[in-house]
Amino acid sequence: MDNEILTFTVSDADVDSRLDAFLAAQINDWSRARLQRLIENEDVLVNGKNSKPSYRLRETDVIEVELIAPASEAFTPENIPVEIIYEDESVVVVNKPAGLVVHPAAGNQSGTLANALAYHFQNLPSSAGVIRPGIVHRLDRDTSGLMVVAKTEQAMENVADQFRDRAVFKSYVALVHGRVDGDAGKIDQPLARDSSNRTRMAVVRGGRTAISLYKVRRRLQRFTLLDVELKTGRTHQIRVHLAWLRHPVVGDEIYGGGRDNTIQDARIRAHIKSLNRHFLHAEKLAFTHPASGIRLEFEAGLPVELSGLLKELGVES
């Protein structure tokens, strides 16, 4: 699921207002301090460029805000199975399956991870938590793997700060088209909304800083299995970066450029199509516990549909 994107056009009444003050007045349930962090982390663009919280608005300025963490709100509890990897009074770590949208939005008001967590929290003892899941980061609908969810406001602020400070370790497994050169590499390319298609992201000069590190885990005849570490958490970052590298993620219908259809082996081509997802899995996650200060590390193996494809390709995952 994409992060929520809000767009504002400055009117005469708001000319000369500070950017952070303007956003605080426009966006409900978001503190000015949290919005300032979004601006400083390049998640707010003014006329397509990064800015500062103190920027004074001009008439017709166009402001684009990417809300990385949703404001606290109640969700309708729904009894949707979710795999809990770890839980205590502050945080929950889940292994999200592909196909599960993280957060309710237009067209997805129910059946989401947030609804499932609300049900789970509601059934805890009253002293053990709240029914409002604090979703600090997201995974695309068709990306599986590890996510941390805060159970208290203090934990939410703490973990969100760790994400902004790039103190959270996030490592993904991706199967990509082609044979990637070299054993490792770094992609440092800014991302923004594609001007010709606002539902897509693209490498855009002046966009938000985005850094991905990758290492080759296994080379196959026509594919490469990669470990990808995220240093930033932009929308669709890994998928866009690997497509820019000309090695798009297998099964990615949005950024794949039709590469799945060029696979000559009809059996493999049909297997990939039957996945109904892309081959991207959040395998490893590490962060500092917001209460104890202890570093926690988690790992979730590939789901059966992805390991099955690797087996089809002759790889035992």
List the catalytic residues.
Answer: 140
> What is the CB neighbour count within 10 angstroms for residue 126?
8
Place of tokens 């996510």: 147
b/e 205-233 (16+ beta carbons within 10 angstroms → b): eebbebbbebebeeeeebbbbbbbbbbbb
Tokens of 187: 């992609």
Residues sharing a CB contact under 8 Å with residue 256, sequence separation 6 or more, in sequence order: 177, 243, 248, 249, 250, 278
d(CA 192, CA 201): 6
Contact by Cβ (8 Å): 11, 22 = no
- Which H or E run includes 215? strand 211-219
d(CA 164, CA 166): 5
> Cα separations (Å) of 32 from 36, 37, 91, 94?
6, 9, 25, 30
Place of tokens 């970066």: 241
Helix (H/G/I), strand (E/B), else coil: 305: helix
Helix (H/G/I), strand (E/B), else coil: 105: strand
Tokens of 164: 């902004």
Place of tokens 């493999």: 268
Cα of 64 vs its chain's centroid, Å: 18
Helix (H/G/I), strand (E/B), else coil: 258: coil
